[in-house]
Structure 1
């Protein structure tokens, strides 16, 4: 893996000399934040060594280096998912590369199903903790000490200091926020009603098919992490509710301006 990281990093640096301070992962329907990035260099995933092409609608599949809020950043416009058939090492490989490029902070967004009855479609939820129900772990196998410790501490996967900053940013702008626990599942099926009830009963407020593996690897790499969900459906509430990916994308687009503002300001204040 170390050689693969070196090859990918060398290729990217050959196209952009920028040394990013923060990395951003944009989830389903949340790619428009990329339009706010200035002095940009765009690199299709398929051109980067050991990056598979993205396959999911709503994920454009390119790495963008540039400036956001005046700060140097690298952004993933689209991510990989375990359900696409990638290994967990492939899903999280971009985090390793962003770390090698120089980032110290990772910001993650996703579209998620709401299980907290206080939530409405289009709400934003800062993730304060997660429950990992994915069937594979990104750190399984021989540990590479150069990348991180064998047993990383997960007691604070989402930095409290960044959560506090985001709350202040939102309050100053009059943006309503929730906080809660994100449950990570494999997908690609949306959850059954019984599964929604189960995950809410064990402490989950929102559920999605991403984020957790990337955050685990970010913590293993020594990065600070902030993550936010856009609540795009409410599977726990309406017995007649049917969820489609198209509806998820529409809800994400509607909430995106507020998420973009919070992420941009958070980067600026790092």
Structure 2
């Protein structure tokens, strides 16, 4: 039975709500946000799941639901994109205490990477130890098909080359080190469990493994950009995930990532095909049941 949790009076949050989109949050501020959220739910999550475009129905498998809208959480960025509900869903999944982000914010909506990753830091201070991230992505690898699910083994932070990184600014050692290592960002043990789970469930025909890259968006990639990504070893590309993974690893959370291949990236100048968000949502709908079953089974197999 779902329980929609009402927000605090907005007047109590005026100072936090008037912060700029570009503002970072201190450890003490994040701690207060985490406490305020936990005071409104019974659940004490140890596993967090971020649901990307077309993946929101994964929340349907959660039992003992408690729901809080992002707009009722001080400082949280509010999702503006179709397919992103914009709420935290707390409860039980395969007996594990979880919190799901049903939708996320993006840099292309005008938010800074520091703002986008506030929910991840909040999860950490709520007690989350393992983070699952999902996204919709365009297939760069020509062996991939629309509807494939890619286990992320590494990422290429192209936006980071231009200074778009959530760790820019003052560092607080209570979150993590000034210079965190991101080699091995996607937990090897969790990836092994995922591959075995896909095999046990008879899903290997549409499971892949590869490298994810993030472009800021909101425009889809040009032909030349797609060819460049292929040249440098990228298998799938999207507009999210890397800021959240960067902060999660900075906070010493274990990370597992999945990309749902929702479209094939256009590699030929003469092509009459064009990427569009409607295709992303349609593919998410088509593969939603498989994703729900797979993620639930993964959750049942890990210790958190």
Deviations 1:63-87 (A, max 9, x none): 0110111100011000010111011
Is residue 146–residue 283 contact of structure 2 (8 Å, CA) maintained in 1? yes
> What is the alpha-carbon distance in structure 2 between the residues aligned to residue 162 and residue 198 of structure 1?
30
Structure 2 residue 65 is matched with structure 1 residue 76 = no
Structure 2 residue 123 is matched with structure 1 residue 98 = yes
Q: Secondary structure at the match of 1:89?
A: helix
Aligned equivalent of 2:256 = 226
Deviations 1:209-232 (A, max 9, x none): 000000000000000000000000
Is residue 4–residue 50 contact of structure 1 (8 Å, CA) maintained in 2? no
> What is the alpha-carbon distance in structure 2 between the residues aligned to residue 34 and residue 231 of structure 1?
20
Is residue 107–residue 225 contact of structure 1 (8 Å, CA) maintained in 2? yes
Q: TM-score with structure 1 length normalisation?
A: 0.98
Deviation at 1:21, TM superposition (A): 1.3
Match of 2:168 among 133, 140, 147: 140
Deviations 1:155-199 (A, max 9, x none): 100001000001111101110210000011100000001100001
Q: Secondary structure at the match of 1:15?
A: coil
Is residue 66–residue 73 contact of structure 1 (8 Å, CA) maintained in 2? yes
Is residue 183–residue 207 contact of structure 1 (8 Å, CA) maintained in 2? yes
Q: TM-score with structure 2 length normalisation?
A: 0.87
Deviation at 1:237, TM superposition (A): 4.8
Q: Who wins on radius of gyration, i.e. which is larger? A: 2
Structure 2 residue 214 is matched with structure 1 residue 189 = no
Is residue 127–residue 182 contact of structure 1 (8 Å, CA) maintained in 2? yes
Task: Give 1:103-252 correspondences, 5 Å limit.
Answer: 103-134=128-159, 135=162, 136-176=164-204, 177-237=207-267, 239-252=271-284
Q: Secondary structure at the match of 1:58?
A: coil
Count residues in correspondence. Answer: 270
> What is the alpha-carbon distance in structure 1 between the residues aligned to residue 155 and residue 116 of structure 2?
18
Deviations 1:136-156 (A, max 9, x none): 111011111100001111110
Q: Secondary structure at the match of 1:186?
A: coil
Q: Secondary structure at the match of 1:64?
A: strand
Deviations 1:77-123 (A, max 9, x none): 00010111011111001000001111110000000000101111000
Aligned equivalent of 2:43 = 18
Is residue 63–residue 92 contact of structure 2 (8 Å, CA) maintained in 1? yes
Task: Give 1:59-74 correspondences, 5 Å limit.
Answer: 59-74=84-99
Backbone CA RMSD of aligned residues: 1.0
Is residue 41–residue 65 contact of structure 1 (8 Å, CA) maintained in 2? yes
> What is the alpha-carbon distance in structure 2 between the residues aligned to residue 30 and residue 244 of structure 1?
17
Unaligned runs of 5+ in 2: 1-25
